[in-house]
Amino acid sequence: MDHIEKRVLTSKKPSIANDELKFLSSIQNSIAMGSWEINLQEMDLKWSDMTKKIHEVSSDYKPDFEEAIHFFPEGKYRNRLLEVFDRAVNLGENYDVELQLKSAKNNIKWVRSIGYPIFENNKCIKVHGVFQDITDRTNRIADILLKEKQINSTWHHSPNGMAIIGLDAKLKSANKSLCQFLEYTENELIGLNFSHLTYHEDKEVATAQVLEMIEGTRDHFEAEKRYISKTGKLVPCLVNVTMLRDNNNVPMHFIANLTNISKIKKAEQDIKNLLDTTESQNLRLLNFAHIVSHNLRSHSGNLQMLLDLVQDEIPESTDNDYFPLINEAVNNLSETIFNLNEISNINTRVNNDIASLNLLHFAEKAISNNRAKILETNAVIVLDIDKSIEVLAIPAYLDSILLNFVTNAIKYRQPNVALLIKLKAQKTDEHVQLDIEDNGLGINLNLHKDKLFGLYKTFHKHDDARGLGLFITKNQIDAIGAKVTVTSTVNEGTTFSLFFRYE
């Protein structure tokens, strides 16, 4: 019986040992940890399978101490390993170091090497230990350190003020920019209740949002608030606040990002002051223009009436070389005053006058109003405008704009060349483009482009040229929110392209 029991027991021992080895092997594989041992008397080095796997050598590889040392890059890491190994052998010190290793396949790894010396008769006969691949952990730590460095750099060097504020509203930390524009040192700000820095009229701004963040119904908020610096200056800021929570979603503290918008506010005020000044000046100029045009129109009307009376009642006094010149001068004065009055009235129309108008209808009207001149000059008019196209304009202005361009095309035609005028419209996603093209005299844009729409600017020696038509037309185009461009070649023709808004 004893013999049978002994046989049973001995037959089970190897099974238990194998299970333990398998268990230990699975642990080593899961944590990438191997073992090693060196017999100093015979300089016999042994590596476990995992240690060989870390070094990326074959399973039948026979390690040698000198070769093993060369897996560590020459310099810092190799010197460190030799140093701790020497202390273990000579002083009996255990070691636990993290080193960089270059595997047999030239892969750079981070490893943890732990060594335990074994002594007999005060002499180290053996050193054994464990070897672990910690590359992933080391890289993760390096990434974390890099991110921390980046966050710290952003924190300290950000042009915006940044602060960590406790749930009790006291400052825990403040960066350099915040200290600068509030004129405090960081030590002076730490522990200070943030509301004490807030301008009294803005203390209640975003109070509800702060409570919502604490309750968890809001992630962040943005508001415009004013703060008081140490010297009493008012500092307007755009504040963006977020809540930092722990892993259990419990509020920890607020992170505030403050953008100093003092310069923006000053610029806004400067612009407002400039606009107010400009508006006031424009109003005075407009009033002046109305008064002058009204008074001049009255005086020119009186002059014209007196000349008419003289011509009717004392006709003999008009029979000289001077009266026709005086009459022409008065007529020209009346025409100039009328045109100036039209110019002064262009931009006084309110937006309510702008309507959606049928472009083809107004183009046909402009042609109809020039019918006599068209017949006289045998001009050919080509209309390529879809009857459904409508544009936003003031009716009187659209009449005037189209009439002026068609009239100019007829007026500045080439002699001995059959006049051709094309009006073509197309609708895009952004606007309605109307091209008015002629084959007339053309304009030298190299000389006249910058003054094309200027007051009293003429480009051809024509008896009727006054330099007012294009100036008035350009003002009318601007007033309805349209745009105009021009292309032209001398003795070939001109194309005016109008860009209208539409509903």
pTM: 0.42
Alpha helices in 412-468 (DSSP H): 445-448
From first to last of its 503 residues, what are the pLDDT tens digits of the chain? 344 333 333 334 444 445 554 545 555 555 568 999 999 988 899 999 999 999 999 999 999 988 899 999 999 999 999 999 999 999 999 999 999 999 999 999 999 999 999 999 999 999 999 999 988 888 888 887 778 777 677 677 778 888 888 998 899 988 888 898 899 998 999 999 888 899 999 988 888 888 888 888 888 889 899 999 999 999 999 999 998 888 888 889 898 899 888 888 888 888 888 888 877 776 676 666 666 666 676 777 778 788 888 888 888 877 887 888 787 777 767 766 665 666 556 555 545 578 899 999 999 988 888 888 888 888 899 999 999 999 999 888 888 889 888 988 888 888 888 999 999 999 999 999 999 999 988 887 776 565 666 544 454 455 454 446 677 788 888 888 899 888 888 888 889 899 999 98
Q: Which of helix, strand or coil describes residue 231? A: coil
Q: Can you tell me the distance from the alpha carbon of 468 to that of 474, in angstroms, rounded to the nearest whole number?
A: 10
How far the first Cα of the chain sits from its last, in Å, is 110
Q: Which of 446, 427, 428, 423 is nearest to 495 (CA)?
A: 423
As a whole number of angstroms, the distance between CA 225 and CA 147 comes to: 31
Calpha distance 47→63 (Å, rounded): 7
Burial class for 373, CB neighbours closer than 10 Å (0-12, 13-18, 19+):
middle
